[in-house]
Amino acid sequence: MTGRSQASAGDLLELVRSGRATTRGALQQATGLSRATVGQRLDRLFRAGWLREGAGGPVDSPLGGRPSITLEFDDEHAVVLAADLDTRHARAALLTLTGEILAEHSGILVIEDGPDAVLGELGRWFAELLEKAGQRAQSVCGIGLAVPGPVDSETGRVVQPPMMPGWDGYDIRGRLARSFTEHTGAGTVPVLVDNDANLMAYGEQRTGYADCSAFVLVKVSTGIGAGVVVDGSIYRGIDGGAGDIGHIRVGAEALCRCGSYGCLAAVASGGAVARRLAEAGVPAASGSDVRDLLAAGHPEAVGLAREAGRQVGDVLATVVTLLNPGVLMIAGDLAGTAFLTGVRELLYQRALPRSTAHLDVVTSRLGERAGLVGAGALVVEYLYAPQRAEERLLAMGV
């Protein structure tokens, strides 16, 4: 908050949502506002449908009396749409404001078909999800999209994405907003776009490791990328390039999709493992094929996955030394026992003992839904942040 006496309705909403102040008295104490002013600002939030009264809380006074009425964020007044794009597959979901998935759809969607076709199809998926869940399109407050490339968060445009030909600089926000309107008849809603590993990390950290102040997720699928959450916020770097560890040079001579030689993704991604299996006569064309082979216990796939894990673990020793995270999560198509064993082997061998003394190396809890949950959370945190919430209240006339 900018100052205790200047706390807005949006600031009060933030205090309630975070659990730091959930009664009128606690809000007065936290903000320094008078009882009347707190009441006026809460009234705006009630009229918007964003707050509701919950059960009575404990009686604070030893003399007894009426229990304080608690205040709660009303997560039923709107819903969020989210989608997570991979190179040849996508998932979409309709979520509550607290991240519960109401309806979900997955299917083939080839990113090389270009942004116009892919985003147009997502609009159709969104309309079907709303119908399936029995929700009105007008109840959607925003859309979140995860993409497999670096994103400038200010513009929502991808920046020189090696795995997304034809998408560089494209107006993703505008096209997806139009597609939603075309297929549902609803008005324009905000669209937020971020890197898939970032949103997976955000979803996993918020739902399973909220107390971890430095969290790293590494996604190993067709490519390799990392998402970093520090003090509850995604760390993106200057223009969205943070976490792009798949293009760190590891000394090999394999040609990467980015055009360089020796990138980590060129030798240790799901795509790279699939290529080596295919060269050995094992049918595999993508990271998802490798995942299926690993699930079946295919010996050559298991051996190559462990080798890939060792190569990634070597790079992660530097990442862990630099960031000193409390949790390092491995996710994506290769995130199984063989790959994780390889990661741990090199990570603990190369990193300083102090860097790993309090480190948990784990696999995904949310699985394929992590990006969807993170995309939904990104939208909610954007729309209900204090300043943005205040702007929306004014626009609503309350």
Residues whose CB is less than 8 angstroms from the CB of residue 113 and which lie 6 or more positions away in sequence, other chains included: none
pLDDT digits (tens, 9 = 90+) for 196-207: 999 999 999 999
pLDDT digits (tens, 9 = 90+) for 376-386: 999 999 999 99
Helix (H) or strand (E) holding 344: helix 337-350
**Averaged pLDDT of the chain:** 93
pLDDT at 59 over 80: no
Q: Dump strand ranges (E) for the chain.
A: 51-56, 69-73, 79-85, 89-96, 101-108, 140-147, 151-152, 157-158, 191-195, 214-220, 224-230, 233-234, 327-331, 360-363
**pTM: predicted TM-score of the whole model, two decimal places:** 0.93
- pLDDT tier for residue 54 given thresholds of 50, 70 and 90: confident
How does pLDDT run across 104-161, given as a tens digit for each residue? 999 999 999 999 999 999 999 999 999 999 999 999 999 999 999 999 989 999 998 9
For helices 115-133 and 172-184, give the axis angle rounded to 10 degrees. Answer: 40
Cβ-contact 223, 265 below 8 angstroms: yes
pLDDT tens digits for range 301-336: 999 999 999 999 999 999 999 999 999 999 999 999
Residue 13 has pLDDT above 60, yes or no: yes
For residue 286, what pLDDT is reported? 87
In the structure, what pLDDT confidence band is assigned to residue 2 with cuts at 50, 70 and 90? Answer: very low
- Residue 5's pLDDT is 53
- Measured in whole angstroms, the distance separating CA 213 from the mean position of its chain's CA atoms is 16
pLDDT-above-90 percentage for the chain: 87
